Amino acid sequence: MPPSSLRGRTVPGTDGIELKLGYRAPFSWDRLIRYLAYRAIPGVEAVENGCYIRSFRLGGAMGTLTISHDPARHGLRALVRCEGPVPIRQIGARLRRLFDLDADPLAIHQALARHEALAPWLDDAEGLRIPGAFDGFELAVRAVLGQQVSVRGMVTLSARLAERCGARLPETLTQDSVARLFPTPAEVAAADLSSMGLTGARAATLKRLAEAAMADPALFAPRADLPATIAALKALPGIGDWTANYIALRAVGEPDAFPAGDLALRKAFGAGGDPLPEREVALRAEGLRPWRGYAAMLIWQSDPARRVKTEIRETENAPD
């Protein structure tokens, strides 16, 4: 990415700086932000008027980001409003990961189309992207909170956590409904997590996750290969195979991460019949390497009317 693509410009009347971030077309913006909207943590992020809005904290800077789609220019526009030095390169890199802007959508689509189990899902999926994470720790916390509950349950618990131990933004930086920062590892480690609706085991897992993130700033960075990344995540107490793959896919940016035991995937690979065994799903997905994560996201993002009849929750098979 050339340096010029990360230069910001002051936007009159906004007290902000605008970044322009390009991508390779096609890009399914509506599909991606629907996924983010359903999982948005109240107070921390929102999808409003076709834009994704969130708070952020990087080093000494904190503020809000408002991201909109500019399809005519094959890019996104990010309006940055913050206190402190504007970390343009860091913000740009994190947004590229969050919106999967470096993907090659045509190559991915062609690879998925070769698998007969996925063909019915592909007719409205041009420009498929994997929603990543602006902050790896935040995504990992959400994955833990989503273990064995619905997506809405995960959102509720995440909002409670942010309310309990996340700092408020200065009033001059609040953006519509976004007024709070997601808590840092140090804030979670120091917080009283009782009376939040968490089991004792889940609260302990969050504490240990926060301590691990404090001890290893590169905890959510890629390892030598995907198995090494999964192994490092599963070494954390309370993180099983499903959660490790989900974190690897969205927080670490591993496009081949694939939680084969997920109920939605087991049903989809079974062509709407009985769920296949996890081992059979993993075997059938081998031909999708190195894009298995896109197959998972294709199924998770698909229109509810075309999903299998029973409600699928991407967190349903998450381990304790």
Determine contact, residues 259/241, Cβ cutoff 8 Å.
yes
- Cis peptide upstream of residue 255 (ω within 30 degrees of 0): no
What's the CA dihedral at 278, 223, 243, 320 to 10 degrees?
100
Q: Which residues pair with 9 in a beta bridge?
A: 18
Q: Helix, strand or coil for residue 144?
A: helix
Angle at 191 between CA 187 and CA 192, to 5 degrees: 170
Cβ 245 vs Cβ 143: under 8 Å: no
Q: Are 206 and 147 in contact (CB under 8 A)?
A: no
| Catalytic position from the list 124, 256, 262, 303 | 262
Residue 320 bears catalytic tag: no
DSSP strand E in the chain: where? 9-11, 16-22, 45-48, 51-58, 61-70, 75-83
Tell me how far apart the alpha carbons of residues 300 and 201 are, in angstroms, rounded to a whole number.
Answer: 27
CA separation for the pair 181, 224 (Å, rounded): 32
Which token pair is 237? 């107490």
Sheet holding 61-70, edge to edge: 9-11, 16-22, 75-83, 61-70, 51-58, 45-48
Structure tokens at 55: 């708070």
Question: What span, in angstroms and rounded, lies between the C-alpha atoms of 78 and 62?
Answer: 15
Catalytic center residues: 262
